[in-house]
Amino acid sequence: MQVIYEDNHLIAVNKACGEIVQGDKTGDETLIDQVKAYIKEKYNKPGDVYLGSPHRLDRPTSGIVLFARTSKALTRLNEMFQDKEAIKKTYWAVVAELPEEEEATLEHYLWKDETKNKSFASKKQKKGSKLCSLSYVHKATLNRYHLLVVDLQTGRHHQIRAQLHAIGCHIKGDLKYGSDRSNTNGGIHLHARKLEFIHPIKKVPIKIVARPPKGDAIWDELILIKDLKE
């Protein structure tokens, strides 16, 4: 577990592929458990440690997960994550197919198939679907793969994966959404790169940036490109 931001109210970690934010049927250790243990040890806290989770990342996705260390911060973060203007969420997605447009805004209606744990994006509205939106820019090409920098305007289930699939762009390693092969680590090349927001308590601008997983040839090469540095 890598802590990348911490103060009295917030803590952010750079999630690895395969880690889960909250408990599921696997019973595997969660990021919440790890962060609580970290806080308990670092600050020698007796009893239970408070930690709130205002958002999550898919298990095969890497990158920033932000937690609240106080109930006041959690209440405000929950409101902020519901407001598409309050938090700017930037992802890196490595895809096998180059999109038709170098940059674009995608709007779809998204619905979730609970039995398959999969979302579907369509231009047509259907019962139970929700409008979703993202913007992307093609930033780099390495061999046969392409980096899209994605700004997420809404936060639906598997949104980036489903919307890119809908335009024929498949994230490397994402078998569920059209990739032709898996990655050796079981993850996918989708990374929550950056969060920008006004601190919910201190009211100052915060920018958190997470490095993609080390040791992966594509991520390691991308991180060296000058135009991509923060």
Tokens 């490595």 -> residue: 94
Q: Are 212 and 62 within 8 A, CB to CB?
A: yes
Q: Are 107 and 131 within 8 A, CB to CB?
A: yes
**Set 24, 58, 151, 227: catalytic member:** 58
Distances from the Cα of 9 to the Cαs of 2, 80, 103, 230, in angstroms?
A: 18, 15, 36, 25
Q: Which structure tokens are listed for 117?
A: 């744990």
Strands 2-6 and 103-113: unpaired
Three-class SS state of 145: strand
110-113: long-range contacts at Cβ-Cβ below 8 A with a sequence spacing of 24 or more? 110/156, 110/157, 110/159, 110/162, 110/163, 112/157, 112/158
Distances from the Cα of 170 to the Cαs of 63, 80, 155, in angstroms?
A: 19, 30, 19
The answer to whether 58 is a known catalytic residue is yes
Annotated catalytic residues are 58
